[in-house]
Amino acid sequence: MQPVVILGAAQTRHAARRPEASYAELAFEVVADVLARTGVGHDRIDTVITASSDFWDGRTISDMSVQDAVGAAGKSASKVSMDGAFALVYGAARIASGAYRTCLVVAHGKASEGMPRAIASAAFDPIYERPLGPDDRVALGLQARRFLDLRGLGEEVLAEAAAQAWTAAASNPNAERREARTAVQVSSDALVADPLRGSQLAPDSDGACAILLADEQTAAQVAAASGREGGSTTVRLEGFGLSTDMHGLGDRDLGTAGVLPRAARSAYEQAGIHEPGRELDVAETYDASSAQTLLWREGLGLPPTGGPAWNPSGGAMGAQPGFATGLVRVAEVFERLARGEGRTGVAHGMTGFVGQAHCVWVLRRR
Amino acid sequence: MDIPDVEPVAVEGRIRIPYRWPAGKAGGRFLAALRDESRLLGQRCPKCARVAVPPRPRCLSCGAVADEWVPVGPEGELVSWTVARGGPAPVAWGLVRLDGADTGVLHRLLDVAPEALKSGMRMRAVLDGRRTGQITDIAGFAPAGGATCNR
Ligand SMILES: [Zn+2]
């Protein structure tokens, strides 16, 4: 298999609403940005993988809503209707196979144009659950309650996790939430789905993310052409894991990290990581609630305190641009490593209710 | 040519497409027993004995074809709960593991104040007086002892 190098990443300034931008314009922002950052021309892109949702975009074959923006026409293009971290698996496999030298992976989400709760409700089982009218926040509340009960924890742990996320997001220029909050402020917010308060839920955001992958030889050529030293500071994808749990909320124990440890184990094994708490320098997770911030940390095999820089971007609690959310985690880890802030990092994406499917990536700077 | 900025323009729309979702053999049997006999049925795996409610065509644990039916409930344990406060009135939701079942059922919780909700409490299925063969034939789950089975 060919090693897979990340040439560059780009993301939008995520926001609650971007009414002036079409779906395509939102995606084009990050495509233009990643091409400019890497100095790679459109004609050098071999293949394109996008992540989008028909329900979120309000049209079937939703990859067509961004086809022009990502330059898919005339190329081998395909779509993943899951979080962008999963689309990266498809893209990386194309490079690893040796069949393609460069692959552009693009994910977008525009929550403001639809009704996020109603769209989430449509993902429940149509026979046994959907007629009752649940939505994603019901699932998040049930998970958070079970998480606390299973461990005998009080609601203050959720407030502390949320305050940490808000504070981290405040210094992330791309986050939608840009205001530091204390645990006391977070605790005084109104309950949305007990025990979760509004500030303990990830926001619904508009945004996009693009990641450009290449094989080693191409990465060295691109680096040489840009005047940088030939591939001396490349960041590679060195391990990944995927795992899917049962769909029904009553079929799994929501108080645990579910199948995340399985995905993490696979990613760590491939990357030769034995002690993630010591060997990783940065971790970014798709946490849709403060309970998930704590759960996914545990699921990734990290200690409750110490260990790698934890969600330094604020995680998904800072911005949740639909299917771009997991790909943004990869972009955040990439940027840190490329800047020289650490050598190895883990990025996590998820799809489905409260962590039904997890995707874990290990990135390493060489 | 100078092009001035304009107010954002958007097309407003709504997608409404009728669908049918067949309950299948197993689901049909489960919903018919609920409608016609006021009974809650689970499906037991012949291989690993896991009892699933609602029923599935295959055992979720081991993949065996489950075709053995066992009565479950109507009482059970509240595994987790939440109160959704986004709408006009708060709605209590729970996952209830019916007696004899290994899985939890997602449903609305009735006749209970949010402050009284506690994981582990005993609940009882409250059936709707008018049956249509849908999951809504269960009106919800109320604290055991308080409510009767039929409203
Ligand atoms: Zn079985």
Same CATH fold assignment for domains A4-115+204-225 and A235-365: yes
Q: Using a CB-CB distance cutoff of 8 angstroms, which residues of chain A are in contact with residue B96? A: 250
> Is the model's pLDDT at A248 over the cut of 80?
yes
SS3 A327: helix
Which tokens go with A274?
């034995």
CA distance A153 to A166: 21
Digit-coded pLDDT (tens) for A264-315: 999 999 999 999 999 999 999 999 999 999 999 999 999 999 999 999 999 9
Which tokens go with A239?
């391990």
Query: For residue A151, how many C-alpha atoms fall within 13 Å in the half-sphere facing its CB?
Result: 18
Q: Which of A117, A126, A254 sits opposite B80 (nearest CB)?
A: A254
Q: Using a CB-CB distance cutoff of 8 angstroms, which residues of chain A are in contact with residue B76? A: none
What CATH number does domain A4-115+204-225 carry, 3.30.70.1520, 3.40.47.10, 3.10.290.10, 1.10.10.10? 3.40.47.10
Q: Which of A132, A138, A248 sits opposite B135 (nearest CB)?
A: A132
Dihedral angle over CA of A14, A322, A348, A72, nearest 10 = -90
| Element spanning A206, H or E | strand A206-214
Residue-level pLDDT at A232? 54
**Neighbour-count burial of A44, counting CB atoms closer than 10 A to its CB (0-12 exposed, 13-18 middle, 19+ buried):** middle
Q: Calculate helix-pair angle for A156-170, A290-299, nearest 10 degrees.
A: 90
> Is the model's pLDDT at B150 over the cut of 60?
no
pLDDT over 70 percentage in chain B: 96
CA distance B28 to A45: 51
| Distance from the alpha carbon of residue B137 to the mean position of ligand 1, in angstroms | 28
Helices and strands counted in chain B (H then E): 1, 8
Interface check B15 vs A, CB under 8 A = yes
Q: Say if residues B102 and B63 touch (Cβ distance below 8 Å).
A: no
Pairing of strands A282-284, A344-351: parallel
Instruction: Give the residue extent of every domain in chain A.
Output: 4-115+204-225, 135-200, 235-365
Residue from A25, A145, A191 to probe the interface with B (highest B Cβ count within 10 Å): A145
> ∠ CA A29-A32-A36 to the nearest 5 degrees?
135
Q: Where are the alpha helices (DSSP H) in B18-93?
A: 24-37
> Is the model's pLDDT at B143 over the cut of 60?
yes
- CA–CA distance from A6 to each of A1, A94, B67 (Å)? 16, 13, 50
Q: Say if residues B42 and B50 touch (Cβ distance below 8 Å).
A: no
CA distance A37 to A30: 10
Q: Say if residues A313 and A207 touch (Cβ distance below 8 Å).
A: no
DSSP string of A70-110? HT-TTSEEEEESS-HHHHHHHHHHHHHTTS-SEEEEEEEEE
Model confidence band, residue A230 (pLDDT cutoffs 50, 70, 90): very low
What CATH number does domain A235-365 carry, 3.40.47.10, 3.40.630.10, 3.40.30.10, 3.90.70.10? 3.40.47.10
Of how many residues is chain A composed? 366
> Is the model's pLDDT at A156 over the cut of 90?
yes
